[in-house]
């Protein structure tokens, strides 16, 4: 398996622009997680899905952030409008259901908002 | 809410020695706890999982302990090597496959 795939790997944008991050989970995994990592706050859970349904989005910073999972093999995290404080590394992870399964992380998207 | 403290934001150790990293948590005790390794520019990679009814878990040169009374997990790397240099994250389950991560300890093994 190719593992979790994220695109783009790097994104530089200007404040106010829309940013879309993409994730393809490992085939057969039921759970998909979006995280944000910064030096100050570490790895923070933004939202997670189970069988394509959002379960907990309490970590989403504000209405500027939205996430979708239209099917089992694709998810997006959108920021509109973007702000400099959104600069971070965004990770997508997936896991199996049915127990304390580990999460498999993608390589991350490094976002810089100028 | 749950809080995790991984003391020592950075830890330097001589090659061949045992590195010990600490993860302390507050509030409720999780059903299990995990340790991940993260290299620069990469996503975290799972290393070990230990359940609340297990005192110790080993994998090659790695050993994890879990003390629910102290609300603490210790992560040991024996015979450390420069290739072990990375950031190590502990993560607590919060229920329903959800994990809460610590901020990590950056380990440097000096040749």
Query: What is the per-residue pLDDT across A33-61, written as a single tens digit (0 to 9) for each?
Result: 999 999 888 899 999 999 999 998 989 98
| pLDDT tens column, A91-114 | 999 998 655 578 899 999 999 999
Chain A neighbors of B41, CB-CB under 8 A: 107-108
Q: Is the dihedral of CA B5, B34, A41, A59 positive or negative?
A: negative
For residue B105, pLDDT over 70 is answered with: yes
User: What does the angle CA B61 – CA B63 – CA B65 come to, to the nearest 5 degrees?
Assistant: 175
**pLDDT score, position B48:** 94
**pLDDT score, position B97:** 65
Quick one: closest CA in B to A6, which residue?
Answer: B43
Rg, C-alpha atoms of chain A: 13
Mean pLDDT across chain B: 91
Q: How far is CA B60 from CA A26, A49, B57, B80, B86, in A?
A: 27, 34, 10, 12, 17
End-to-end Cα distance, chain A: 36
For residue A6, pLDDT over 60 is answered with: yes
Chain A neighbors of B34, CB-CB under 8 A: 100, 102
| pLDDT tens column, B41-72 | 999 999 999 998 898 999 999 999 999 889 99
Distance from CA of A34 to the nearest CA of B (A): 11
Mean pLDDT across chain A: 93
Which residue among A42, A100, A101 sits closest to B103, beta carbon to beta carbon? Answer: A42
For residue A79, pLDDT over 80 is answered with: yes
Mutate: best of A48, A89, A103, A105, partner B, most B CBs <10 A = A103
**pLDDT score, position A1:** 64
């Amino acid at each position: 398996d190719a593992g979790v795939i994220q695109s783009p790997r790097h994104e530089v944008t200007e404040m106010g622009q829309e940013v879309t991050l993409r994730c393809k989970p490992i085939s057969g995994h039921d759970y998909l997680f979006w995280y944000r990592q910064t030096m100050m706050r570490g790895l923070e859970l933004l939202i997670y899905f189970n069988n394509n349904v959002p379960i907990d989005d309490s970590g989403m910073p504000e209405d500027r952030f939205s996430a979708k999972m239209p099917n089992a093999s694709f998810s997006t995290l959108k920021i509109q409008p973007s702000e400099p404080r959104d600069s971070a590394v965004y990770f997508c992870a997936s896991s199996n259901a049915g127990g304390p399964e580990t999460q498999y992380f993608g390589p991350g998207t490094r976002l810089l908002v100028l | 809410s749950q809080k995790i403290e991984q003391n020592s934001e950075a830890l330097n150790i001589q090659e061949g020695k045992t590195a010990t990293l600490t993860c302390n948590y507050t509030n409720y005790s999780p059903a299990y706890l995990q340790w991940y390794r993260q290299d620069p520019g990469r996503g975290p990679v799972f290393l070990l999982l230990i359940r609340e009814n297990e005192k110790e878990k080993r994998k090659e040169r790695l050993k994890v302990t879990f003390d629910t009374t102290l609300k603490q997990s210790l992560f040991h790397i024996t015979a450390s090597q420069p290739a072990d240099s990375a950031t190590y994250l502990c993560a607590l389950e919060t229920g329903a496959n959800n994990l809460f991560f610590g901020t990590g300890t950056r380990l440097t093994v000096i040749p």
